[in-house]
Structure 1
Amino acid sequence: MRLPVWTRLEPEAAADDVGAGLAAPAADPAWLLARQWQVGELTAEDAASPVAVEVTWTQFPIDQIVLGGVARRFEATVPLEAILEPEPAVQPSWRTRLTAGAALRDRLSAAGASVVVPAKLAPDAVDDPVARALVRGLGGRALDGEAALTALTRDPTGATLLTALAAPITAATTAAVTAWATWYRARTSRAAPSAWTAERAAYQAHLTVTTDAGRWALVADAYRGGRFDWAELRAEPRPLDRPPTPVHGQAALLPAPISFRGGPARRFFEFEDAAIDFGGLGESVDELASRLLVEVALVYGGDWFVVPVELPVGGLCRLDRVAVRSTFGEVTAIAAPRAGEPWRAFTLAALPEFLPILPTVSRSLEGPLLEQVAVARDEGANLAWLIERRVADGLDRGQPLAAPPAPAAPAPPALDRYRPIAPPPAGWRPWVQRGDVVVPAGLPTPLPPPRTALAATFTRMRAADLGRDGLMLERRWQVAIAGDGQPRAWVERRQRPGAGDLPSGLGFDVVDRAADPP
């Protein structure tokens, strides 16, 4: 019996730094030219470059969005974040209500009407001390915008509201009231019903679209706020109840070499910009995925071209045909990726031939934090804690909740002292896991009601969503420009990862040891 024996050569890097190899420095330009001649860089190749691309596509529009089990018509001009994220129908802050009242007075004044604020439209029962001081400073000029909107809702003609304000009922004043109501509703953006699910501390909704492959629901199970993207969705088949309404398009375009910040020159022997530092990548050599991505970008980045195709927003798009014309006049058809192929991007698993084109926010104005609530695990106590860290006052300003002063360290007792319980910090609300959910724990002495809107509706959540690191919930205002050019404002709720285990100091059967004798 013969055993095969051989010697294998394995390269082994002497250092972790790969910057020198990536930079490929050259001190002598003459040597550089010689190397180009030696490796064949100066030898012409019978290779062509793309000069034109013809694209034929089909889009199937999204027709409905379902929030809280209620279907409504999908508006492609409104960002998805402005549809999903608005809070439930809660009372706006006193700052918003007073600002809306002042805006109504201004609109009626511009229409030539003077306004007298009756008692029933004046701010009443202002419970927040800061807002109460503002109302007192405004005297009898304060107008509650929420009360005015309620009156207008009962009588959409506006006659009841104008009569209450002692304003004449004319075409100008009626138009002013109607325009004000549209502005105020858009400013408050109160969702009915809401997509927010307290049990998962996330938004849930789905979009419906009919294609030539059937009817589909694009389901978002746990959108945590921030920026909505196609990766939030998964496709599920639905019964076909309507025919598809496809939109076809065709475009002839010019391809351009792909470029990105920090990318290499297209030719290896071309001098790079001095601002580029390939040695500053920072990843460890053990991060294989990062190294593969870097290799694709640096070595093969010059082989890619980009063709910008303008598509309608709000649907599923399919590229039916892509034909590339080269400098030699040859036309090459590029096939679309099919299901089961090993590589694809920006597609849903069940619909690999479609690209979701969603009306999302590209840039928005974010207000400061209004509320912040932490839900943290305490492995030592085998509990989770809900901690309110920031609360909004009546003028929509986030105020930090000051932690109670730490009690002074007691002097060691003369004798060992037994305590049945060492309490947690004041205001921490205990939660306990029951099966696969986490619920508030019962207390012999009930805590006062929560001060934040986030904690007020937070009664249970899935243990899997809480995780080991816990989570952080935040509320803040968002303002963005919709596709129709109109501003949209809403209060967003966002979930972020927590900071890990948070010991509370809770203990049972605690013994305080006596001081050592002198």
Structure 2
Amino acid sequence: MADKSALLTWKKIQSEPNGDDLAEALRCEVRDPLWLLARQWQLGEFKADDAGMAAYASLTGQSTPLQRFAPSGYPMQSLSVSTPLNTAVERLMPHFDLGWRIEMGRSWRRTLLQAGKTAAWESFRQNPYLQFKQVTPAFEPENAEILAASHEPYAQMLAACAAGRAIDGERLFNLIENKKASDFLNTPDPVVDDLGKKWVTRVREQLGVPSNCWDPERLEYRFESVAALPGGTTVCLNTPEYNGQTLGWQDFVQSAGNPALQKDLDPTLAMEHRRTFIPTRVSFPGMPRARWWEMEDNTIDLSNVKAAKTDTGVLLLAEFCLLYSNDWLLIPLSVPVGHLVKKSLGA
């Protein structure tokens, strides 16, 4: 049994630097490289592995643009190659100001007169519903037209167009958009009906009429889109739930589609891409170093990731970052906006 009356003492061994220069210490010089080599041998770093860095990679791909889309319950609409799909889907109805209303009426007049339909134009011009009317002053704060009429230049322009001198292009557009133009005439006229359809299409293109993809009951966008593939085949994509944030591949579901939507597509718009690159390794912040004894970046501590057994996504991400991070290569490929891409890779 130890003597309780014994005196115990401790000594602390501490280095005392002789100078203020820490450059030598920060260099972390290796005094025993043979020990480091032995540690690498013990951990199996010297074992041969049938792997290596790709010297080059060849990429072959095909891209084809989405040519049409159709809102649920509405006619299909064409897609321009220069217009992103989300822009066309989320488009809103522009405001018909007085200048546009006058210009659209004059455009309809030119369309009829160039086709030799002078009598038809007179019928449209004399229709009281299509004529501009001077606004009677009244106190209606919510009536935008009465408020605008208090502006003298606006009132003068409105008076110049009244009394049948011009027709209201906005009213005409809203009326013949869903009905025949010859309904304003005494007798049906197929030529006027055809001119009305072309005029409505032209106005739609100029104004960018909305797509009607918004579903107010579900508070989301719903539509179908279609593209032509090489060989005469088509692919139809259904987007049942687009919340208006970011339109990505996860919002599309391949479906049989509407047969009318897939007619008369242009397969010549499909393009083929062939590229040969020297691939580069994928890198990301916090990526483990590929070799031992190399200082790592401590911006992101991947070892501190906490995941339960049911967090499959977190576990897969951690496994990729820690085990397979340096097994992936990056090859750039630029494709046009709004295109479907199919690619194959060879080394």
The TM-score with structure 1 as length reference comes to 0.39
Q: Which residue of 1 aligns with 2:338?
A: 314
Letter in 1 for 2:39: R
The residue that corresponds to 1:210 in the other structure is 228
Aligned mates of 2:84, 2:314 — CA distance in 1 = 33
Task: Report the counterpart of residue 75 of structure 1 in structure 2.
Answer: 80
Q: Write the distance in 2 (CA, Å) between the matches of 1:74 and 1:323.
A: 33
- Aligned partner letter, 2:345: V
Are 2:286 and 2:298, in contact at CA under 8 Å, matched by a contact in 1? Answer: no
Look up the equivalent residue of 2:320 and give its one-letter code: V
Q: Specify the alignment match of 1:52 in structure 2.
A: 56
In structure 2, relative to structure 1, the CA distance for the partners of 1:90 and 1:275 (3 Å cut) is closer
Residues 315 and 46 from structure 1, CA distance in 2 versus in 1: closer, same or farther, beyond 3 angstroms? closer
Structure-1 residue corresponding to 2:244: 225
Deviation at 1:262, TM superposition (A): 2.8
**How far apart are 1:42 and its partner, in Å?**
4.6
Q: What is the deviation of 1:86?
A: 2.6
What does 1:78-477 correspond to in 2, within 5 Å?
Answer: 78-87=83-92, 89=93, 127-128=141-142, 140=152, 190-191=209-210, 193-211=211-229, 212=231, 214-238=233-257, 239=259, 241-242=263-264, 244-245=267-268, 246-284=270-308, 287-319=311-343, 321-324=344-347
Q: 1:65 touches 1:74 (CA, 8 Å); kept in 2?
A: yes
Could you say if the C-alpha distance between residues 261 and 127 of structure 1 is closer, same or farther in structure 2, counting changes exceeding 3 Å?
farther
Q: CA deviation at 1:228?
A: 0.8
- The structure with the largest strand share of the pair is 1
Q: 1:91 to 1:45 in 2, by over 3 A?
A: closer
Contact 1:265/1:272 (<8 A) preserved: yes
Change over 3 Å in CA distance of 1:308–1:194 after alignment to 2: same
2:70 counterpart residue number: 66
- Structure ranking higher on relative contact order (CA contacts 8 Å, 6+ apart): 2
Q: Which runs of 5+ in 1 are unaligned?
A: 1-26, 102-117, 157-181, 325-518
> Quick one: distance in 2 between partners of 1:84 and 1:322?
33
What corresponds to 2:193 in structure 1? none
Q: State the shift of 1:252 in Å.
A: 1.1
Letter in 2 for 1:73: S
Q: Measured at CA, do residues 127 and 35 of structure 1 come closer, stay the same or move farther in structure 2, by a change above 3 Å?
A: farther
Report the Cα distance in structure 2 between the residues aligned to 1:301 and 1:35, rounded to whole angstroms. 23
Counterpart residue type for residue 36 of structure 1:
Q
Residue identity over aligned pairs, in percent, reads 24
> Separation in 2 of the partners of 1:323 and 1:195?
41
State the alpha-carbon separation in 2 of the partners of residues 151 and 283 from structure 1: 65
Q: Give TM-score, length-normalised by structure 2.
A: 0.55
Q: For residues 206 and 78 of structure 1, do their structure 2 counterparts lie closer, same or farther at Cα, with a shift above 3 Å needed?
A: same
Matched letter for residue 303 of structure 1: D
- Cα offset for 1:269? 3.9
Greater radius of gyration (CA)? 2
Checking the alignment, whether the CA contact within 8 Å between 1:197 and 1:204 is kept in structure 2 is yes
Q: Which residue does 1:488 correspond to in 2?
A: none
Cα displacement (A) at 1:196:
0.9
- Higher share of residues assigned helix: 2
Which blocks of at least 5 consecutive residues in structure 2 are unaligned?
1-27, 101-131, 162-166, 174-202
Q: For 2:153 and 2:263, how far apart are their aligned partners in 1?
A: 55
User: Residue deviations 1:62-112, cap 9 Å, x none?
Assistant: 22111342112111322222111134x4868xxxx79x99xxxxxxxxxxx
**2: CA distance between counterparts of 1:79 and 1:125?**
44
Cα deviation 1:255-304 (Å, max 9, x = unaligned): 01011233222335422013232244344465244123201221111011
Contact residue 215 and residue 237 of structure 1 kept, 8 A:
no
- The CA deviation at 1:33 is 5.1
Alpha carbons 1:257, 1:306 under 8 Å: kept: yes
Cα distance in 2, alignment partners of residues 198 and 144 from structure 1: 40
Tell me how far 1:206 sits from its aligned partner. Answer: 0.9
Query: How much does 1:207 deviate?
Result: 0.7
Report the secondary structure of 1:35's partner residue: helix
Alignment: residue pair count: 245
Write the deviation string for residues 379-407 of structure 1: whole angstroms up to 9, x where unpaired.
xxxxxxxxxxxxxxxxxxxxxxxxxxxxx
Q: CA deviation at 1:323?
A: 1.9
**Structure 2 vs 1, CA of residues 120 and 304 (structure 1 numbering), >3 Å: closer, same or farther?**
farther
Cα gap change, 1:142 to 1:35, in 2 (>3 Å): farther
User: Aligned equivalents of 1:258 and 1:222: distance in 2?
Assistant: 33
Q: Encode CA deviations 1:162-211: one digit per residue, 9 max, x unaligned.
A: xxxxxxxxxxxxxxxxxxxx9xx76xx651x5111122221111111222
Tell me, yes or no, if the aligned pair for 2:65 and 2:339 is still in contact at 8 Å. Answer: yes
Give how far 1:126 is off: 6.2
Q: Work out the CA distance in 1 between the residues paired with 2:88 and 2:319.
A: 40
Deviation at 1:44, TM superposition (A): 6.2
